[in-house]
Amino acid sequence: MAQTIRKQKLWTIEQDELLKHILENQNFQSWTQISKAFFEFSGVMRSSKQCRDRWNNNLRSEKNGNPWQEDELKILFDSQRIHGNQWSLIAREIKGRSENQIKNFFYSTIRRNIRKFNKGKLDSERIRFKSLSILDNEEIRNILTTKKSVSKNYFLSTFLSEQAVKIIQSQFIQTNENETLQYNSNFLMPPEMKFTSEDFYISDDSGSSSNPTFEDDKLLDDDPYTMLEFSDILDNPFH
DNA sequence: AACCGTGTCAACCGCCAGATA
DNA sequence: TTATCTGGCGGTTGACACGGT
């Protein structure tokens, strides 16, 4: 399968200035027109989408590069609970943070906690991410929105309930309708989980955004178990 | 000093809905 | 009515910095 290489083309200061100038001084009606003007002035091709993204994510307003504060986190997680993944809506409630910043930070938090939680656990005990809909479950949500400073031991001693495991599994079942899962309770770990409110939403996180890919969570360092495809689990739930 | 894992930032991609021809 | 265009948005990826070993 051929893979296309995505090459990032960073914006220069001059290009930023030109884009600002075009937006602030020319009366264009569309991003397409802005893109054309940008090319005429600079000789550099930037698509309408690129211009729009650059403006919205970086140039439109002053960016807050400070570490995330507790009140910002509270707004973020509360808003996400209400609005789901409508980052543009959430961004309106957090001053000085761009939609991209917010989105990146959120995914970064989820990803970090999945990695920490899965570390040292059997494949059958791990959280497998497919979509943020798993956050609808309070138990999973609590784990995945845990603050950065929570110790490794906390994650080591935390396991999913049967119900939470089923929810995670159902994500994959929905996309593999032809396959059936033989649920076996021996396969699951159902211990009690107890959280205190201060474990969540309170952060000493620094920085603001993140790389939200989950693919590399398949490989965990110093961990004897590699992440397996869900079909593998269906074939043999006990490995 | 070199390597590796992780976090952060910026940019890109693809889908979708509304506008327009 | 339909096809095409455009912008908005959520999700994904690449590059790089930094700290720990």
Does one domain contain both A201 and A102? Answer: yes
Q: Which nucleotide is nearest to A57 (CA to C1')?
A: B10
At residue A173, does pLDDT exceed 80? no
Residue A154: which H helix or E strand, with range?
helix A152-156
* Top-confidence residue, A173 or A32: A32
- The token duo for A180 is 């059936």
Residue A178 belongs to a domain: yes
Name the residue range of residue A21's domain: 13-59
**What pLDDT, in 10s, does the model give residues A77-123?**
888 888 888 888 888 888 878 888 888 888 888 888 888 888 777 77
| CA–C1' A232–C19 (A) | 36
Burial class (CB in 10 A: 0-12, 13-18, 19+), A214: middle
Q: What is the pLDDT of residue A5?
A: 66
**Spatial separation of the C-alpha atoms in residues A212 and A215, rounded to whole Å:** 9
Mean of per-residue pLDDT scores for chain A: 69
Q: Which nucleotide is nearest to A53 (CA to C1')?
A: B11
Does one domain contain both A180 and A141? Answer: yes
Residue A3 belongs to a domain: no
Side chain identity, residue A215: E
Does one domain contain both A19 and A136? Answer: no
**What pLDDT, in 10s, does the model give residues A6-24?**
777 889 999 999 998 998 8
Three-state SS at A175:
coil
Does one domain contain both A41 and A77? Answer: no
Q: Which of A119, A151, A129 is nearest to A223 (CA)?
A: A119
Please report residues contacting nucleic strand C, using a CB cutoff of 7 A: A 5-8, 30-33, 48-49, 52-53, 85-89, 99-100, 103-104, 107, 131-132, 210-215
Residue A23 belongs to a domain: yes
3-state helix, strand, coil in chain A (%, to 5): 55, 0, 45
